[in-house]
Amino acid sequence: MRRVNLDSMASSRNSRLYAGMAAEERQAERRLRLIQAAIEVYGEVGYRNATVKAVCEAAELTERYFYESFANSEALLIAAYMHVCDTLHADMAAAADACAGDPEARMTAALTLYFTRLREHPRPARVFLLEISGISPAVDAVKLTVSRTFSEILVPPPDIAPHADRGQNLLSTGMVGAVISIALRWVSKGYPQPVEEIVAATAAFCRVALSGHSHRGKV
Amino acid sequence: MRRVNLDSMASSRNSRLYAGMAAEERQAERRLRLIQAAIEVYGEVGYRNATVKAVCEAAELTERYFYESFANSEALLIAAYMHVCDTLHADMAAAADACAGDPEARMTAALTLYFTRLREHPRPARVFLLEISGISPAVDAVKLTVSRTFSEILVPPPDIAPHADRGQNLLSTGMVGAVISIALRWVSKGYPQPVEEIVAATAAFCRVALSGHSHRGKV
DNA sequence: CCTATCTGACAATCTTCCTTGTCAATATCT
DNA sequence: AGATATTGACAAGGAAGATTGTCAGATAGG
């Protein structure tokens, strides 16, 4: 009849401790291991050539634990994608917000951090620039959300956001597309140019979106 | 012993006429049917969900004829992609060259034709904007060639091309990325804006690459 | 020490699709 | 009309991988 230990800490509810961790913690750790393994494997062979088995082996876990945390391969892809983007965007936002008030400096700071990271971590970069396209509607939806965040870090919308910013969305889309394309080329060619040059080229496209905010009387 | 008809035309070499066509013609027609069917099917369900069987059924041919013309699915994808792009680019180039001498008008003419076509033919558009990414190195290589052509139609490089146009390639890449991204969004949202608005937005990004040609003293 | 839980290895099943092969029906040429 | 190339329908073979199931060994709690 449920002899629950009331004396111990609340976190170890009704689960046995293994390796000093509660069931939830162990599962969370496995999940994270799978995500990190996925980033490695996807970076090596690409998402569509990566098998569940290969990811599990890289994570040193068995398939059983794959299905414990993810419904299917696609779910892992989305989780891995968001994992990468979330941390990247958080850092970009921090770098950008340090330059509050100066849109040009903000852009440059965020872009510099972005491309520096891409060069430091080629595998995640490869995957999440190249392989993320056209997998499925669910993935595309995630990608859309992510690129919106990306765009708002680079060029934050005016505080008093106009109800329908139709033209602005087009410019944001184009800006993100330009940055991603340049990044993709840079990565796949093995980083031939220095970061500064890439930042300068992408900044030129970001300025298009930036100046779009001011030309608002026309619509 | 090879009783070849020397009196008939040279094209009907050693093949029996079927439906009034020589073997080569019949095969070429089947190949074309497969390509057109592929565009339809890919547009409906996407390349990676399209089976060989489905394409063959759409073409009203059997699998046997698939392997007659293509080594595998990927070969058909590439052929279909190039089929679409070749005709599109030819028309864009014609529209652009009609405005020779005026870079701005040239850009606008080519973009207008591009987006008009996209709206007229949603299925090919969907496939060849969205699904073409990250299939394989071979497909990526084709894509690279195509986007180079695309970029040169929009913003032709100076006649006396400088030996190493490093920065220019980055700008071209970004420009194409911006245009494609905007096109993709436009198509997938069901063409909410009029063509003129899309052309105006994309032209803003093309001008970045255009003006890149003149800023050449810096490097 | 003993029991119940947890883990890891691995096999079995199942599905899906590619690819090749067979065979009868059809169309053309002589 | 007869011989042969050509076509279309369809099935058999085969490969790859996802997903589930089994089972023995390891580990923590009592």
Domain limits for position A86: 73-212
Residue A189's Cβ-count burial label (10 Å; 0-12, 13-18, 19+) is exposed
For B197, nearest residue in chain A (alpha carbons): A167
Please tell me the predicted confidence (pLDDT) of residue B9.
39
pLDDT tens-digit readout, A137-161: 899 999 999 999 999 999 998 776 6
Average pLDDT of chain B is 87
* Same-domain check for residues A92 and A127: yes
Asked whether strand C has any atom less than 7 Å from the CB of B19, the reply is yes
* Same-domain check for residues B47 and B86: no
What CATH number has the domain bearing residue B49? Answer: 1.10.10.60
A contact set with B (CB within 8 A): 46-48, 130-135, 140, 166-167, 169-171, 173-182, 184-186, 193, 197-198, 201-202, 204-205, 207-208, 212
B contact set with A (CB within 8 A): 46-48, 130-135, 166-167, 169-171, 173-182, 184-186, 193, 197-198, 201-202, 204-205, 208, 212
Q: What is the DSSP string of A49-117?
A: G--HHHHHHHHT--HHHHHHH-SSHHHHHHHHHHHHHHHHHHHHHHHHHTTTT-HHHHHHHHHHHHHHH
Asked, for residue B123, whether it belongs to a domain, the answer is: yes
Tokens representing A117 are 């990271």
* Same-domain check for residues A60 and A130: no
Asked, for residue B114, whether it belongs to a domain, the answer is: yes
* Same-domain check for residues A33 and A53: yes
* Same-domain check for residues A134 and A33: no
* Same-domain check for residues B80 and B128: yes
The single-letter code of the amino acid at A45 is V
pLDDT tens-digit readout, B119-150: 999 989 988 888 888 888 899 999 999 999 99
Report d(CA B210, CA B215) in Å as an integer: 10
pLDDT tens-digit readout, B97-110: 999 889 999 999 99
* Same-domain check for residues A28 and A103: no
Please, which pLDDT band fits residue A68 given cuts at 50, 70 and 90? very high
* Same-domain check for residues A64 and A111: no
B154 vs A103, A161, B148, B176, B202, CA distance in Å? Answer: 30, 34, 10, 9, 11
Residue among A130, A178, A186 whose CB faces B178 most closely: A178
pLDDT tens-digit readout, B26-80: 999 999 999 999 999 999 998 989 999 999 999 999 999 999 999 999 999 999 9
Radius of gyration, CA atoms only, chain A: 21
For A185, nearest residue in chain B (alpha carbons): B173
Q: Is residue A134 scored above 60 in pLDDT?
A: yes
Interface test with A, best of B173, B180, B186 (most A CBs within 10 A): B173
CB contact under 8 A, B204 and A208: yes
Asked, for residue B33, whether it belongs to a domain, the answer is: yes
Q: Which residue has the higher pLDDT, B208 or A164?
A: B208
Count of domains in chain B?
A: 2
* Same-domain check for residues B126 and B43: no
For B131, nearest residue in chain A (alpha carbons): A134
Question: Closest CA to D27 C1' — which residue?
Answer: A18
* Same-domain check for residues B96 and B167: yes
Asked, for residue B1, whether it belongs to a domain, the answer is: no
Interface test with B, best of A73, A133, A147, A179 (most B CBs within 10 A): A133
